[in-house]
Structure 1
Amino acid sequence: MSGRPAHLSRGALVVPAILAGLGLFLVYGTVTMDVVGDGGLFGPTTMPWIVAVLSFVVAALLAFDILRPRPAPDAGPGSDTDSGSGTGPGDEAAAGTGVNAPAVLTAVGGVAAFVVVLPLLGWILSATGLFVVVAAALGNRRPVPMLLGGLALASAVQVVFSGMLGISLPAGFVGGF
């Protein structure tokens, strides 16, 4: 036994490592950014710093969750684990630990489609579509709340970026390209 928890897979630490790398990349880019003037309260370095800090925090929390010891799963009394049939309660739990490939492919396809249609449809429609696709990939089956939630979130981001930060997001065909 190597001393690490039995549930730990080295592959599980890839996501925290990527997030920490993203944080380092953002810190380097923000520190070396040429900024004209002080930029005020919400200058061009504000969002990169916020995202970098959040990347480090989420990476640390994920790594902690992955590395923390967990009690061994208990089959419980009356379980049929000695029969060798392969249908005991422990087998059902193990079967649910794999990757949900259709959900992952749907979400990745949604992001790819978002990148392609963003210049054509604009931010609000593209981001709403991305929200709907990812929510559906995660198991939501209620289209109206997904559409309304996506539209509300995309609109809020539009207001923050254009109204508060002065950054124009793509308008697509609605804004005449």
Structure 2
Amino acid sequence: MTTITRDWLREHSELGVSVLLGLVGLVVVVDSLLGSDAAASSDPLGPHAVPLLVGTLLVVLAVLLARDVLSGGHGEAESGEDIDLTVPADKRTVLLLAGVLVATAALIPLLGWPLAGAGLFWGATYALGSRSVPRDPLIAAGVSLVTWILFDALLGVDLPGGPLMGVFG
């Protein structure tokens, strides 16, 4: 019997990706099979066909990846042609981006997508290093407003308008 040591786990770290893919695939399959039935549709496959296919493919991919890793395969290391791999990750940037995402998720129901999205885009540019105060918020507001109009009006995806609903809605 093979004992699993820290070195073995380090050499087979891709198994973590395989487990994650398998779990996500199983959740998608189970959710699509147990999900509520949608209203009658003219679609002969039904509303659960695409999620079931995607979930099944994720599970198959997870099994194939695990088989490859256990038979000695491994991903090629990043060559880092223009990246210095010895420099640690910039935790400040990652935390700022995570904070912006969490704040946006919390603010969308209160402010609507156009305002919360503008905050998202401006916050992301700030976290990534841009400090152009007159330009960045204007571009962020424009991108947010255009995405809201595209998704809400043209694609039929109901994004909350918030206070701007009376102006543009």
TM more than 0.5:
yes
Task: Give identity over the alignment, percent.
Answer: 24
Letter in 2 for 1:163: L
SS in 2 for 1:148: helix
Root-mean-square deviation (Å): 4.7
> Of the candidates 97, 109, 114, which is equivalent to residue 107 of structure 1?
97
Distance (Å, rounded) in 1 between the aligned partners of 2:122 and 2:15: 29
Alignment deviations for residues 29-85 of structure 1 (CA, whole Å, 9 cap, x no partner): 2333311112659x8658x749x57x95xx98xx99xx4234999xxxxxxxxxxxx
Matched, 1:121 2:127: no
**Contact 1:158–1:169 (Cα < 8 Å) also in 2:** no
Matching residue of 2:23:
21
How far off is 1:112 after superposition? 1.6
Distance (Å, rounded) in 2 between the aligned partners of 1:121 and 1:106: 21
Distance (Å, rounded) in 2 between the aligned partners of 1:145 and 1:39: 45
> Of the candidates 155, 159, 171, which is equivalent to residue 146 of structure 2?
155
**Contact 1:119–1:171 (Cα < 8 Å) also in 2:** no
> Of the candidates 75, 79, 84, which is equivalent to residue 68 of structure 1?
75
Matching residue of 2:4:
none
SS in 1 for 2:28: helix
How many residues end up aligned between the 2 structures?
144
* Structure 2 unaligned residues grouped into runs of 5+: 1-6, 69-73
**TM-score normalized by structure 2?**
0.55
**TM-score normalized by structure 1?**
0.53
